Chains A and B, each alone.
Chain A
Amino acid sequence: MLSGAGAEAVLAPERVAPSTIYDLQYRVIINALVFERLAKSYQGSVPRVQAAKQKLAQFVAIRPWLVSVVRDWSATQHVPQLSMNVSQRLRRGFLGDAMHESVMEFLIAGGVFRRDGAHLSAGANGQLVEKWTNAALTAELFSAERAAIEQLSTITITNAMLEGW
C-alpha cells in the first residue's frame, strides 16, 4: 500500500544507533573512575567498595542530573515517606540497569575486579583501573561524570539505602 502510494524508505543511521550509555568501553571507564574514587582500604586490606554502592554510583555518574536526587534521598532517609518520594525515580531506573551486572562479570573474568562477599576489590589485573583512570584524567575525558562521582563521595550513602537491591 505504501509502495502504491509512492512512499520511499529512508534510512537514518543516527536514529538507529544505540546510545553510548550502552558502550562497553564507556561503562568500563566509568566503573574504573567510580572504583578509584570510592574504594577504601579497611585495616590494611586491599581497597574495596560495596558492590551495590558501585552500582548506584556508576548509574548516577552517567546521569549527573541525578546527583541532587541522591542528595535529597540521603537527607530525607529518616523520613520514610519523603525518602520514598524522592528516591522512586532513581530506584526504578537503577534496578533495571542489567548491563552493569554484565560489565561486572566481564571485568571480574578479566581479573580487573574480584568479588569479595558483598564487596568488590581489585583483581589480578587491578592495575588497569589506575591506568584507565589516569588515561581519562590525562585526556580530560568525562569531566561531568568525574564531577558527579566527586559529589557522590561527599554524600552519605547508608546500608539502609543500599539494602533490598
Chain B
Amino acid sequence: MISIASIAVEGESEVGPFAGSLMLTAGLQVISAQNAYGKSLAAKAFAWCLGLEAMFGVVDNDAGFFPLAAREEIKLDGHAGARVLSSRCVLTLIHSDGRELRLTRDIKGDPTVARVEEVGADGAVRASKLQARYKAMQDEHGGLQRFLFDWFGWPRVQVATFKGTTIDLYLENLAPLFYIEQDEGWTDIQARQISKYMQQQIGQVAVEYLLGATAAIASRLSQQSAIQREAALRATARTIADQVATLFARHGWAVDWSGGGSIQDTINRWSARTLREALSEDTSADLADEISRLAMSAEKLRENLTKAPIDVLDASSHATASQKVIELKGRRHELNQELHTLRVQDDETTGLLASLEQRLHAAEDVLRLKTIGVGRIDQIECPTCHRDLDPTTFALTEQSVDSVSAHIEALKRDRDLVRKNVYAISTRFTGVRAELARVEIDFREAERALVTVTAAVGTVREQLAQTAAQLSSTERKIERLRETSAEIDELQKTIDHWLDDAREIRKEAPADADLARRVSIFASALRDYLIALGHSAVTAENAAQIRMDEQYVPYLGNRRLKSLGSASDRSRLVAAYSLALAAASQKVGGHHPGVVLLDEPLQQNPDDEHRDLFSTFLSTQLTTDASFQTVVMTFLRPAEVELLVKNGTAVSLPPGEKFLKLPPPPPPEEGADEHEMEEDERSDEGIGGPRK
C-alpha cells in the first residue's frame, strides 16, 4: 500500500523560477482552495508522473491536458504573461514498508523520460531514468510502468484483446477506479477507462485486479485463449477434412471424414481410425491390394505382348477398341450434364449458406454486444427526468442473452443442414469432375489405341497394338495410385499433428469461490459508502438489495443504481464505488494502491443540500477511519471547514491565490514575527484533524 507524500509542480519562467506543492499525509484529507487555484493542476501532476496521460485521451508524452500556466505562459505575482521556459512535476510516494519514491517528469522539456529516485528503508538513494510511455510495461529495465508495478509489489497480468492476442493490464486501466478527475471522471463508473488498447472485458478485469483476484483474471484469460485456440483448431479441422474429401472424391471414394462438431468430437472420430482404415471400411478400397492387382495385370499383358501365342484368326481387336471409344464418349456426355446440374445447385445452396452465415454472424455479434456490455441501450434515459425509458412502452423488446443464444442455436442448425447439402453437392461435384478427368484420359488413350489398331495391318499386329495400349494404360493407373497413396500418408501426418495440438487444450476452471468472496466484500463496502454519502435511492432498509452483476455494475434489486435517484446521485455513486473498492481491497489483500483521489466532487452538484451531505460524509467514522489515503480536492466555505475540523477531519488550506507562485523571499535573519510564522505553518500543513 502506498500514500502520496507530496505533489509539486515547478519550473522556470522569464521572470524567475516558480513552484507549487501540496504536502499530504496518510488517511483522509481535504484540500480546500478557491476555484482556479490550481488544485486540478496538482491532480493532473499526479497522473502525469505515473504516465497516465492516456486517460485524458491524448497521445503518449503529450502534456496538452495541462493548463497553459504550466507549459506556455504563467501569471506570477506582479508579472502578467511570463513565458514558461521549462516545467516539471514531482510526485513523492511512500510505501507502507517505509520505502520512498520520488518521480519527476518534465511538462515542458523532455516528457518522454521520468526521473526516479528510490529511497530504501535503510535510507539508500538510487536514481534512474525510465521511459515514461515507450514500452513502459514491456521494457524490464527501462519502462516506468514495469518499475512502478515492481515497486508497488503488484503482479503483471495479461488481458485478451479483441484481436485475439494478449496485452498487459496497464496502470491507466486501473487508475479510473482510484483517480476521479474533474472533467469526465464523475460522469460514470470508470468513465476514463481506456478502450483504445482493445482489451476484452477490461472494466471487469480492472476491478478484479484491485480486489486481488488475479486467479480469476488468469482463469478469464485462459478461457478466452482456449476459446480462441479452439476456434483456430476447428477451422484447421475443417480445412483438413476438406482436403481429405477432395482427395477421396477425386477417386470416387465416399469416405466419412468430417471436421465438424466440437474439438472433443473430432478428436474421438479422428483417433478411432486412420485414413487408410476409413477408406478400407467405407469403400472396401485397399490401395495396396489395388496396386498389387494392377501390377499382376500389367505383368500378364507384358507376357501376352512378348511370349503368349497369338490367334491369327481373331479379328475383334478393332471392334473392341472402337466400342470402348464409343462407351467413353457416352459416359463423358453424361458426366458433363450432371456437372451442369450440380453447378446450378451449388450456386443456389452456397448463396443460401452465405445468407445464413451473415445472419449467424450478426446474431453472434448481438450476443457479444450483450455479454461484453458495450453499447448498452440502458444508457438511454429521458433527457428531462433522467429515468430509464421502458422499451415495452414502444412495443419493443430487448432480447435476453438466453433468447439470442437459442436463436443462434437455431441458425447453427439451419446452417449445418445447408452446409451438409453444400458439402454433399461439393463432394459429388468434385467426384464427377475427377471421374470426368479420368474418363477424358481414358477416352484419349482409347482414341489413340483405336488409331493405332486401325493403322495396324493384319490381325496379329492389331492384337499386339491393342495389348500394348492396355499395358501402357495399366502402368499409368499404377503410377496414379502410388501418388494417391503418398498423398494419404501426408494427410495422415497432418491429422496426427492436429490431434496432438487438440489434446493439449485444457480449460481451467474459474476461481469462482474466491472471486465471489471478494466481490461480496466489495458490495458490502459499497452499501456502507452509498448510505454514508446519502445516495437518495439507497436506505438502510433496501441496502441489502444492492448487488453487482457479472460486469460489476451495481444494481438495486433489478434496476441499475445508476438510473436510480436524482442526477446528483451519479457523482455519489462514482465516489462510493471508488472508496468501497479501496476499502474492500484493504480487507481482502488486493492490489489497490491505497490512494483515492477525488478531484472536485462538489462541482458536480454545488447546491447546499449536496454540500451538506458531502460535508457530513467527510466527518463520518467510515471516512475518517479508513486505512487508505483519500485526497479530496475541493473548495469549502469557512463554516464547512470549521465543522469538519471540529469533527476531526484533516483540512488543508494551501496559502496564496494560486498554486504556482514565485519563491518566497528569504526569511529574516533575526527578529521574525512569531505570529506570522504560526500563520504560515498552519496554512502550509493544513488545520485541524488528526495526523496518522
Contact = CB atoms under 8 A, between A and B. Distances in A.
Given A24-B398, A64-B358, A139-B372, A18 B407 contact: yes
Interface residues of A, number: 47
Contacts of A138: 162, 195-196, 198, 374
Interface stretch (A37-45, A50-58, A76-84, A105-113): A105-113
Interface stretch (A1-9, A88-96, A140-148): A140-148
B362 A145 contact: yes
Contacts of B218: none
Contacts of B280: none
Contact of A135 (B366, B375, B404, B407): B375
Contacts of A17: 403-404, 406-407, 409-410
B369 A141 contact: yes
10 contacts: A13-B409, A19-B407, A21-B359, A21-B362, A24-B397, A26-B369, A107-B380, A138-B162, A141-B368, A142-B362
Contacts of A143: 361
A65 B362 contact: no
A14 interface: yes
Given A19-B359, A22-B399, 11 more contacts: A13-B409, A17-B403, A23-B399, A23-B404, A24-B399, A102-B396, A111-B382, A132-B375, A135-B375, A139-B372, A141-B369
Interface string B355-395: 10011011101101110101111011111000001010011
A81 to B, nearest CB: 26
Contacts of B399: 18, 20, 22-25
Contacts of A22: 397, 399
A151 interface: no
Interface of B: 162, 195-196, 198, 354-355, 358-359, 361-363, 365-366, 368-370, 372, 374-377, 379-383, 389, 391, 394-399, 403-404, 406-407, 409-410, 413
Given A19-B407, A29-B369, A124 B383 contact: yes
Contacts of B198: 138-139
A99 to B, nearest CB: 7
Nearest to B200: A139
B191 to A, nearest CB: 11
A161 interface: no
Contacts of A107: 380
B195 A134 contact: yes
A28 interface: yes
Contacts of B355: 65
Interface of B is mostly: helix
Contacts of B369: 25-26, 29, 136, 139, 141
B383 A123 contact: yes
Contact of A24 (B359, B368, B377, B413): B377
| Residue among B358, B362, B397 having the largest count of chain A Cβ atoms under 10 Å | B362
Contacts of B362: 20-21, 26, 62, 142, 144-145
Contact of B365 (A13, A109, A112, A141): A141
B380 A106 contact: yes
Contacts of B404: 17, 20, 23
A11 B573 CA distance: 44
A123 B398 CA distance: 22
Contacts of A16: 406
Contacts of B376: 25
Nearest to A108: B394
Contacts of A110: 380-383, 389
Nearest to A132: B375
Contacts of B377: 24-25, 28
Contacts of A136: 369, 374-375
A23 B374 contact: no
A92 B518 CA distance: 56
A69 interface: no
A123 B389 CA distance: 15
B396 A14 contact: no
Given A29-B375, A138-B195, A140-B162, A20 B383 contact: no
A25 B365 contact: no
A157 interface: no
B380 A26 contact: no
A109 B406 CA distance: 31
